[in-house]
Amino acid sequence: MRTRVEKLKAITSFAVLVFVIGFTIIGIPLDAIAEPQFLEEMVSMRDGVRLHTFVYLPDPKVWSPPYPAILQRIPYGIGKAGVLPGPDIPSLAILRGWQAGIERGYAFVFQDTRGRFASEGIDRVYYDDALDGYDAVEWVAKQRWCNGKVGMAGSSAAGVTSYAAASQTPPHLKVIFAQVGSANLYNEVVYEGQDLELERLMLWLPGNIPGLSSYHINSLKLSDSELQGAKDLTQVINNDLKSHMLDSGTSKWWMHLPLLNYPGFSRLQPFWNEIMSHPTKDDFRDKHNFRDTIQIPSIHVSAWHDISLEGIIKSYKALQERVGKQKLFIGPGHHYSVYEPNFWPYDPFFLWFDYWLKGIDTKIMDGPPIYYYRMGDEKWRYAEQWPLPGVENRNYYLHSDGALNTNAPSGEESSVSYVYDPRNPVQTYGGRNLSIAKGPMDQRPAEPPNRQDVLVYKSEVLGKDVEIAGKVEVILHASSTCKDTDFTAKLIDVHPDGKTMLVLDGVIRALYRESPRKPVSMEPHTIYGFIISLGEMSHVFKVGHRIQVDISSSNFPRRARNTNSGNPLYTADSERDILAATNTVYHASQYPSYLVLPVLPPQKPNSFEGTTNIKTAQIVYKGPAQLYVFPTAVYLNYEGKWIHWKTIKTSQEGNKDHYESRGKTGILSVLIQAKDQTSSDALATGPGFYFKGWAK
């Protein structure tokens, strides 16, 4: 039976679902629907594979059909086929839940992705989600209960599937809401610096084995004993990995090599071997770059220690330049922080969909496009662009005596060497991790005297705040006794009490120092230049703190160990290919090594708290408001509403800055008068408009 329809006897009052079997959705006239509806479908893709789908429809007595629809496609299970789901599906990948959706007048559609749970087909870890997403969107749009306007949403995996579908430009997909998911999964999340992000895969992919559909399992053609043996071993490995999450060096399964044909779960999920087989950037990895063809408005949501942050920022910037109508939210915390109630200063979810799918002017597009959290002083801030305007890349040089400062080496400073042994890698403490401990953590356990294979460079105590806002890099001149190795770098905030708290970290695999597409071995003892990207960050190093950089060659189990042999870790033998490398960092004027920080110089305040009096044909308001003044635009916020002016002329005279801007209310004149470097007053006037305020 292609379709199952089940009536809800009042979803909004949590009543019991009642099965009504034997009808298709096409066979029920819309005017006969007297209650909210739950529909269960097996939706056919273009190749005939059918995907398990739930549809929740609003009460037609409250919301007249047809409805705009929000589709969420996940690999974590929407509920068992033929078994009525509870009040909400307990998956973090699904946003806001079906009850909130139907109460707002949306058809909420959930779908098991290919090869997962009750869907047919083989799970190939997002490989098919672009075309499947297209087909799912267009199926939704053609249903009689849908008005043809479809949005997609989801978090983590469902963020990836939203980007994937949008990349195929289905005609009826109008907008997406992508949270902590990547639009370039393999290049930016699975491989960073061309090093495999081991922790992300080792605890995520095997953990999804229980969700493989019967269709996927049957395709493996394993005997009953082989199947049970693979499942049992996978469970043993998973338990061992989880029990050693904070002490990976004691786990034989964390240390197991090769990664190709990994015992247990590689038999149940053969696509593990496919992922392992592409250490070099190639067409396979590029197939998962969904960013370049997306053409619709999108909200991109992340956190500063989210595994998808780099890709999300790149997606926002690329789509804002090419398409426009984008929003970027970056909050505090990590991949799972976005689910915490206090993460959101306000919830943009239905404001976003109401605007694009219902045509309601929720004002969400009137405000600044970027809303981010500034780490260090713990404040949310608005921005017009990223990196922030005025950022200056400042070099902090690594010196042989362990100093870190802006003084370039003037002579032949000595080099410093350490021995990196893959049998004893540096332990991971925090960072952009998925399952192990995340975010800022004290790095002292991974530094001398506990480790002799970590070099530490430290600034003097800061006499004033240093704010960074943008991309951080380390330029390293180094050599090795082996033809391949890794170089890792950490940016650390040293607190007055001695804690060395991680801000960012990065890695470069030496084979790929010239190109991610063309591995080139090193000549032993030859000096090379390396660019280590640590990623993007907004952070304030406070007065009394220090800035620190740690250099080493491993960060395990977050990142897979480099065996130093030049052979891929994925096929390397655990004994034959593991070599100890003596790695050397150089500090001389000819071969400087340095940290590049995107420093935001002290600036005049650009946000003001005050009162406004507006009396125009469209707006009448008197009361508190906030004014935001950027180089290219001026924004006023009052009672959650926004007014936007585009700046057309600026001038400066002494301690006064004048902005002339144009918007729907006409010409706005803004005068900012600085009292000192941290205090200013603002006066804004225009037709029917007046604002006076002070720096927030």
Lowest mean pLDDT among 165-169, 184-188, 373-377, 568-572: 568-572
User: Which is more confidently placed, 81 or 482?
Assistant: 482
Q: What backbone phi and psi angles, to 5 degrees, belong to 549? A: -125, 130
Question: Which of the 8 DSSP states describes residue 573?
Answer: -
Write out pLDDT tens, residues 200-235: 999 898 889 999 999 999 999 999 999 999 999 999
The Cα 570–Cα 577 span in angstroms is 11
At residue 632, the 3 state secondary structure works out as coil
* Residue 73: pLDDT band with limits 50, 70, 90: very high
Mean pLDDT of 80-90: 67
Domain extents for the chain? Answer: 3-187+288-371, 195-279, 392-599, 604-695
The Cα 678–Cα 605 span in angstroms is 6
604-695 in CATH: which number? 2.40.128
pLDDT at 523 over 50: yes
pLDDT at 3 over 60: no
Packing angle of the helix pair 157-166, 129-142 (nearest 10 deg): 80
Of all residues in the chain, the percent with pLDDT exceeding 90 is 82
pLDDT at 337 over 90: yes
pLDDT at 545 over 90: yes
- Bridge partners for 394 per DSSP: 597
Residue 563, CA distances (Å) to 54, 447, 486, 572, 576 in order: 47, 21, 9, 8, 10
Write out pLDDT tens, residues 236-266: 999 999 898 878 888 999 999 999 999 999 9
> Would you report the helix, strand and coil content of the chain in percent, each value rounded to 5?
20, 35, 45
Mean pLDDT of 85-96: 74
Domain 392-599 belongs to what architecture? Sandwich (2.60)
Mean pLDDT of 144-169: 97
Q: Find, among 140, 116, 292, the residue nearest to 209 by Cα.
A: 116
pLDDT for the residue numbered 654: 85
Write out pLDDT tens, residues 98-126: 999 999 999 999 999 999 999 999 999 99
pLDDT for the residue numbered 440: 96
pLDDT for the residue numbered 84: 63
Residue 412, CA distances (Å) to 78, 403, 409, 474, 588 in order: 63, 15, 8, 20, 5
Mean pLDDT of 51-74: 96
- In this structure, are residues 331 and 373 in contact, taking their beta carbons and an 8 Å threshold? yes
Of all residues in the chain, the percent with pLDDT exceeding 70 is 93
Lowest mean pLDDT among 92-96, 116-120, 496-500: 92-96
Residue 486, by phi and psi: left (phi above 0), alpha (psi -120 to 50) or beta?
beta
Q: Which CATH class is domain 3-187+288-371?
A: alpha beta
- In this structure, are residues 155 and 339 in contact, taking their beta carbons and an 8 Å threshold? yes
Tokens of 502: 């991680």
pLDDT for the residue numbered 6: 39
Mean pLDDT of 570-574: 75
* Residue 9: pLDDT band with limits 50, 70, 90: very low
The beta strands (E) that lie in 238-280 are given as: none
User: Which is more confidently placed, 15 or 164?
Assistant: 164
- In this structure, are residues 558 and 551 in contact, taking their beta carbons and an 8 Å threshold? no
* Residue 89: pLDDT band with limits 50, 70, 90: low
Write out pLDDT tens, residues 626-638: 999 999 999 999 9
The Cα 690–Cα 443 span in angstroms is 51
User: In the predicted model, what is the mean pLDDT of the chain?
Assistant: 91
pLDDT for the residue numbered 412: 87
- Bridge partners for 70 per DSSP: 108, 151
CA 265 to chain centre: 26
pLDDT at 70 over 80: yes
pLDDT for the residue numbered 87: 55
Lowest mean pLDDT among 184-198, 313-327, 665-679: 665-679
pLDDT at 366 over 90: yes
Mean pLDDT of 605-625: 94
In sequence order, what are the residues at sequence separation of 6 or more whose Cβ sits closer than 8 angstroms to the Cβ of residue 335?
Answer: 156, 180, 303, 305, 306, 307, 308, 432, 434, 438
Q: What is the 3-state secondary structure (H, E, C) of 589-617?
A: CCCCCEEEEEECCCCCCCEEEEEEEEECC
Tokens of 380: 């949310």
pLDDT at 572 over 90: no
At residue 660, the 3 state secondary structure works out as strand
- Bridge partners for 5 per DSSP: 20, 39
pLDDT for the residue numbered 280: 93
Question: Which residue is listed with tokens 């032949």?
Answer: 412
User: Which is more confidently placed, 593 or 87?
Assistant: 593
